[in-house]
Amino acid sequence: MISIAPKLGSPEFQTLPLKTDENVVALRKLVREQLVAINFSLVDQTKCVTAASELARNTLKYGGGGQVRFSVLAADGSLGLCLVFIDAGPGIKDVPQALTDGFTTQGGLGLGLGGARRLVDEFDIESEPGKGTTVRIVKWKK
């Protein structure tokens, strides 16, 4: 499936700050509302909200805060939700290693990035040490 996502600077994307735990709670609520509005199943809602929550918490914990941009997508007669998490933190030195289950830098379970990747249909990550991280996810309505 080819996704037709708006460019990050375009007005089709809405932006929320990710600076506090309250921002994460607000994001979870917003994601659920968007998914309900386009008739996602309860299972797919749960998967997408869980992935969004994990990535938002990573943005806070590891990236020092940032933002999330989101948009509803349309492609090949399907609807989806795109979320892009952006921080200007220290970046990830070894992205493949960070996606490996069990890898952690701060004593967690090490399931965050890899777990989030498994919960969505599209997952892209760009990170450069000293310049931050951008993670893009898409969940399509099935």
CATH architecture of 14-140: 2-Layer Sandwich (3.30)
Rounded to whole angstroms, the Cα distance separating 141 from 27 reads 19
pLDDT at residue 77 above 60? Answer: yes
Q: Which of 85, 82, 77 is nearest to 5 (CA)?
A: 82
Q: Which residues contact 62 (CB under 8 A, 6 or more apart)?
A: 87, 89, 90, 105, 106, 133
pTM of the model: 0.87
Tens-digit pLDDT profile for residues 30-39: 999 999 999 9
Amino acid at 37: A
Q: Indicate the length of the chain as a whole number.
A: 142
Tens-digit pLDDT profile for residues 86-95: 999 999 888 8
Phi, psi of 67 (to 5 degrees): -150, 165
Q: What angle do CA 114, 115, 118 make, to 5 degrees?
A: 90
Share of the chain above pLDDT 70, in %: 85
What integer pLDDT is reported at residue 117 of this predicted model?
A: 94
